[in-house]
Structure 1
Amino acid sequence: MHRSFLAFGLLFVSLLAVGCATSRQQPAKPAPVAVTPPPKQPTAEETLSYGLGRLIVADLSHYYFSPGEIEMIVMGVQDQLSEPTALSEDDRKQIAMGLQAMAEKRANDRIDEEKAASGVHLAELGGREGAKTLDTGIVILAMSRGDGAYATEEQFLKLHSRAWLRDGTEIVNSFAAGEPTIIQPKYFLPCWKEVLPQVKVGGRAQFACPSDQVYGDQGRPGQIPPGAMVAFDIELLKVLDTPEDDEAKFSEGAADGPPGSPPAAN
């Protein structure tokens, strides 16, 4: 009897152990799947309100607001919506004057920072083997003078151009696009006017220019930061008496023209 009870106990413990092991090996039941309702389709008025927010931010981009300042702007909007308060004329003037002064200071600070960084990069380029730095700060990196003709101020030059910023951001590359441009030398940027008269048709020059030799403190919105240096790779292909002598695109220095032309007047 004692042996039977002991055997039964051992069998029970064995079965319990197997059961526990089996339960541990069984995969856990999957968690219930949360059903996310489809996103609410905004109304026409909500879409317009969203667009207004984007317009406001686009117009304020030149203030270079920090994340903390953006939080304060949102707080001001929320407070004014919850408890509308009329601002006095003096308050409006003080805020407007303060914002204008802040925008000007931040813009000037960014220009100074860009000029300093560009200066460091130009110095590094000027220290490379074979490079030559001119009195204007232009750095000629390489030059093949060519054996064709020189272009006069009133003639037209068909050329390939590539331009990039100090961080390598490419602005234009007609070599890759296979689309040369026609420009009159009188529309050249100052640095082009200094370097390219040394190059004949068939020649090519790579050079880097400080901001005062390209787009200055204005830069080129969406392409070139204010105060930025620009590097160029130019190949002169042909001298023309009129732009109609060739099918390449003619640029008169418009805002959408290549970097070899000055920015359009405001």
Structure 2
Amino acid sequence: MSKALPIVVAAVLGGAALIPIYYATQNPATPKAVTSLSKDASNIEKISYAFGHEVGSQTPPELDMAAFKVGLDAGHAREPLAYTEEELQAAYQAFQQELMDKQNKEAEQVSQSSTQFLTENKAKAGVITTASGLQYSVQQEGTGKQPNAESIVKVHYTGKLVDGKVFDSSVERGEPVEFQLNQVIPGWTEGLQLMKEGGKTTFYIPANLGYGENGVPGTIPPNSTLIFDVELLEVK
């Protein structure tokens, strides 16, 4: 096997480990076209499906599935690689650069939209801005205990991006969460200390008080302003 291929595959797949399923036979049958499997599929069909599903689930969205299937068939047939190690390394490096350029462009766009959002939001009635840049508006004043940075709190929350997309919600899960205030993002550490039990507040958290330039891959883009509707249920 080419030395370059494992490097390229591991890099494109993010280094994910695949389930080590292996099957071999001295007299392989002629493969048949399969588009779906029934419940009474043969054992090898089920195993083959599981292996294909495992590989497919770990492929990046940018992958060209038509080319992937050609390579899969060629590898299964033990055919030699169609490209040299040098060609594969060059393609991988160029692909990585394309991804980086795309991510940088998207991060810049998110940063600009976040800045514009915070500027416009700051001028709205009822929105308060702290010295750190955290913005918040009180929906319901609390009357109970007020936490400090060391407190363990129980809250319900819904987290959204500035475009309104919900990325996380304890409300939707139907189960509040508990955590110590000094172990979460700075915007939460600061913001929850402004609340009292029973209170409901909407926080507008700049990226530097949230997940910053890294974001959360697949969930929160880099440089994102976050909007959290928070209900403080209890201060432990």
- Determine which of 105, 108, 115 is the counterpart of 2:111: 115
- 1:231 matched to 2:235? The reply is no
- 1:182 matched to 2:178? The reply is yes
- 1:157 matched to 2:153? The reply is yes
- Which of the two has greater helix per residue? 1
- 1:92 matched to 2:93? The reply is no
Q: Aligned equivalents of 1:218 and 1:175: distance in 2? A: 26
Partner of 2:202: 206
Cα gap change, 1:238 to 1:57, in 2 (>3 Å): closer
Residue deviations 1:47-102, cap 9 Å, x none?
A: 948974984585332xx57xxxx599579869x89x96653332232122212222
Q: What is the DSSP-based 3-state SS (H/G/I as helix, E as strand, rest coil) of the residue aligned with 1:191?
A: helix
What is the number of equivalent residue pairs in this alignment?
A: 196
After alignment, is 182-191 or 47-56 more displaced?
Answer: 47-56
Instruction: Report the Cα offset of residue 190 of structure 1.
Output: 0.8
Q: Aligned equivalents of 1:47 and 1:110: distance in 2? A: 40
Identity %: 25
- Determine which of 201, 206, 213 is the counterpart of 1:217: 213
Cα gap change, 1:177 to 1:58, in 2 (>3 Å): closer
- 1:146 matched to 2:142? The reply is yes
RMSD: 3.7
TM-score by length of 2: 0.64
Q: Which runs of 5+ in 2 are unaligned?
A: 1-34
Q: Aligned equivalents of 1:53 and 1:40: distance in 2? A: 12
Larger radius of gyration: 1
Instruction: Report the Cα offset of residue 120 of structure 1.
Output: 2.4
Cα gap change, 1:116 to 1:54, in 2 (>3 Å): farther
TM-score by length of 1: 0.58
The answer (yes or no) to whether the contact 1:216–1:227 under 8 Å persists in 2 is yes
Partner of 2:24: none
Q: What is the DSSP-based 3-state SS (H/G/I as helix, E as strand, rest coil) of the residue aligned with 1:198?
A: coil
Q: Aligned equivalents of 2:131 and 2:185: distance in 1? A: 17
The answer (yes or no) to whether the contact 2:149–2:189 under 8 Å persists in 1 is no
Partner of 1:127: 123
Residue deviations 1:29-51, cap 9 Å, x none?
A: xxxxxxxxxx8869856994897
Residue deviations 1:189-209, cap 9 Å, x none?
A: 111122221222232221111
- 1:59 matched to 2:92? The reply is no
Residue deviations 1:244-265, cap 9 Å, x none?
A: xxxxxxxxxxxxxxxxxxxxxx
Q: Which runs of 5+ in 1 are unaligned?
A: 1-38, 241-266
Q: Aligned equivalents of 1:204 and 1:222: distance in 2? A: 28
Q: Aligned equivalents of 1:238 and 1:75: distance in 2? A: 54
